[in-house]
């Protein structure tokens, strides 16, 4: 009979974290990249772990590593170890008063370009021994798993372990190039953008764009381009590919774009998020303060 897999079965956190990385990434190469170790080491540690357990944790398939029933059972034990290890790490960092070391920040590319990088430049001048690791993207990075220490997001988190601070309420409008509007004319409110091309986010980024942009239904529009990046959307609009919903602070000053229906405006909120355990860390607090200062009061 196969023995029950518990946190004690893994013996140490290194085994558990390698197992979790393979489970989450699906290949040895991706797991090694995630952990910043050699791929061969990942393979050896997995083989040793399976030998010690007397159970096969993964099926090796052409599409990647798939968890066996034993592997699925092991997930719960490994995640308990992960939670304990990360909680310890956060608590130790939370009482760290040094203004040095690494702070991981995640945000979108547009927020990085317009606010966060400027904040990090000022932070570096004041505290040059703080090293920022900045990741941009549309994925919701996990702060509980220490994938980031700080996040600048447009969604307020609901987890009770996370602290959020409202940074700003921003406006969005509809924009296109003068050449596009000369060729296609101004859209008529209420006709679903009939006869017009639009640039929208991919459904995984902004599902609402499949229905509306800037409060206008899009059922009669032709989708010319779907993007997963705010900077890509801005550049596509500049190139005249179609109309796009853009943040007003980013597009109003762009001489290559014209705002359509200036009276029509949609809004979104910006939040700074951190784990409650890190709120007392000097370097995380310094980075948070720099980001807060980069958002002018509304």
Is the domain 170-268 a CATH 2.130.10.10 member? no
For 172-205, write each residue's pLDDT tens digit.
999 999 999 999 999 999 999 999 999 999 998 8
pLDDT for the residue 159 = 79
Q: Which single residue is written with the structure tokens 């008529």? A: 188
For residue 92, what pLDDT is reported? 59
46 within 8 A of 58, measured Cβ to Cβ? yes
Whether residue 15 contacts residue 45, with contact meaning beta carbons closer than 8 Å, is answered with yes
Question: What pLDDT was estimated at residue 2?
Answer: 47
Q: Where in the chain is the domain with CATH 3.40.190.10?
A: 103-168+269-294, 170-268
Residues in the chain with pLDDT < 50? 1-3, 6-7, 10, 298
Number of H helices, E strands in the chain: 11, 13
Interaxial angle between packed helices 282-294 and 117-126, expressed in degrees from 0 to 180 and rounded to the nearest 10: 130
Quick one: tokens of 141? Answer: 């990075």
Q: Is 200 exposed, middle or buried (0-12, 13-18, 19+ CB in 10 A)?
A: buried
The token duo for 102 is: 């690494």
- Whole-Å CA distances, 206 to 19, 96, 200, 226, 228: 33, 38, 8, 10, 9
The domain defined by 103-168+269-294 folds into: D-Maltodextrin-Binding Protein; domain 2 (3.40.190)
Measure CA of the first residue to CA of the last residue in the chain; give whole Å.
Answer: 65
Tell me the three state secondary structure of residue 193. Answer: coil
Tokens 């949609």 correspond to what residue? 266
pLDDT > 70 in the chain, percent: 89
Give the H/E segment covering residue 75: helix 69-94
pLDDT of residue 4: 52
CATH topology of domain 7-94: Arc Repressor Mutant, subunit A (1.10.10)
Q: At 230, phi and psi to the nearest 5?
A: -65, -40
pLDDT for residue 7: 47
CA dist., res. 21 & res. 28, Å (int):
8
pTM of the shown model: 0.66
Please name the residue that has the structure tokens 């032709």: 222
């Amino acid at each position: 009979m196969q023995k029950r897999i518990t946190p004690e079965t893994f013996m140490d956190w290194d085994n558990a974290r390698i197992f979790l990385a393979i489970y989450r990434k699906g290949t040895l190469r991706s797991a090694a990249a995630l952990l910043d170790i050699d791929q061969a080491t990942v393979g050896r540690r997995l083989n040793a772990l399976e030998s010690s357990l007397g159970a096969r944790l993964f099926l090796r398939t052409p599409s990647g590593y798939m968890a066996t029933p034993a592997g699925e059972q092991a997930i719960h034990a490994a995640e308990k170890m992960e939670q304990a290890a990360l909680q310890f790490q956060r608590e130790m960092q939370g009482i760290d008063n040094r203004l040095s070391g690494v702070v991981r920040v995640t945000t979108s590319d547009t927020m990085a370009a317009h606010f966060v990088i400027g904040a990090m430049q000022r932070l570096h001048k004041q505290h040059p021994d703080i090293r920022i690791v900045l990741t941009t993207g549309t994925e919701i990075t996990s702060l509980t798993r220490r994938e980031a220490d700080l996040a600048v997001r447009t969604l307020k988190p609901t987890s009770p372990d996370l602290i959020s601070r409202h940074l700003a309420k921003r406006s969005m409008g509809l924009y296109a190039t003068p050449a596009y509007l000369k060729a296609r004319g101004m859209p008529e409110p209420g006709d679903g953008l009939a006869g017009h091309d639009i640039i929208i986010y991919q459904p995984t980024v902004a599902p609402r764009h499949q229905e509306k942009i800037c409060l206008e239904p899009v059922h009669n529009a032709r989708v010319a381009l779907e993007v997963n990046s705010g900077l890509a959307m801005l550049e596509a609009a500049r190139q005249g590919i179609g109309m796009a919903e853009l943040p007003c602070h980013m597009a109003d000053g762009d001489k290559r774009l014209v705002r359509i229906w200036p009276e029509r405006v949609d809004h979104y909120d910006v939040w700074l998020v951190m784990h409650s355990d890190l709120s007392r860390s000097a370097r995380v607090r310094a980075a948070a303060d720099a980001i807060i200062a980069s958002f002018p009061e509304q």
